[in-house]
């Protein structure tokens, strides 16, 4: 069983289609909707966690792409805005993956995108809005 977190962007013509139900039924995966934003007559965005066999996940994602759904890995959607960061390090202790690394000598942080799973735990910790989730 594998889990992937992805952001799906739907063109408006697909917004009212039961795409996630179709995924569950035809590819034997579990879809957990983490966030949704849908504007009628515009595009819709869904942040989902999808679990299942690797082969089924690949096929399900291919099906979505063929429909015209844009797919982004969730980890690509977290942004650290260095200019706003005052290096207080408050966010680092909350990060479960070590994606926010602290240089103890300089007391500065660095964001390692490769380690980020986009859980969003660090976002409310930052009073300076230096970490954003692009959604």
The residue within the footprint of ligand SF4, chosen from 31, 121, 132, 135 (CB under 6 A), is 121
Residue 120 CA from chain centroid, whole number: 9
Read off φ and ψ for residue 41, nearest 5 degrees: 65, 5
Q: Can residue 78 be called a binding residue for ligand SF4 (CB under 6 A)?
A: yes
Q: Can residue 88 be called a binding residue for ligand SF4 (CB under 6 A)?
A: yes
Alpha helices, H only, 1-135: 19-27, 54-67
Q: Which stretch binds ligand SF4 (CB under 6 A): 4-12, 23-31, 49-57, 78-86?
A: 78-86
Angle, nearest 10°, between helix axes 54-67 and 19-27? 150
56, 29 in Cβ contact below 8 A? yes
R_g (Cα) of the chain, nearest Å: 17
Interacting residues with ligand SF4 between 91 and 120 (CB under 6 A): 91, 94-95, 97, 99-100, 109, 116-120
Q: Which stretch binds ligand SF4 (CB under 6 A): 38-46, 49-57, 65-73, 87-95?
A: 87-95
Q: How far is the CB of 92 from ligand SF4 (least distance, A)?
A: 7
Q: Can residue 50 be called a binding residue for ligand SF4 (CB under 6 A)?
A: no
| Cβ density class 122-132: b for 16+ within 10 Å, e for less | bbebbeeebbe
Q: Residues in the site for ligand SF4, rule: CB under 6 A?
A: 78, 85-91, 94-95, 97, 99-100, 109, 116-122, 125-126, 128, 130-131
């Amino acid at each position: 069983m594998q889990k992937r977190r992805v952001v799906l962007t739907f063109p408006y013509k697909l917004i009212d289609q039961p795409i996630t139900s179709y995924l569950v039924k035809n590819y034997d995966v579990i879809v957990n909707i983490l966030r949704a934003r849908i504007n009628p007559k515009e595009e819709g965005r869904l942040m989902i966690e999808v679990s299942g066999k690797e082969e089924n996940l690949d096929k399900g994602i291919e099906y979505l792409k063929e429909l015209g759904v844009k797919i982004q890995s969730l980890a690509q959607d977290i942004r650290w805005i260095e200019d706003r960061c005052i290096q207080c390090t408050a966010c680092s202790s909350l990060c479960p993956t070590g994606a926010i690394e602290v240089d103890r000598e300089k007391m500065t942080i660095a964001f390692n995108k490769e380690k980020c799973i986009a859980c969003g735990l660090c976002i409310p910790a930052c009073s300076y809005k230096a970490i954003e989730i692009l959604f």
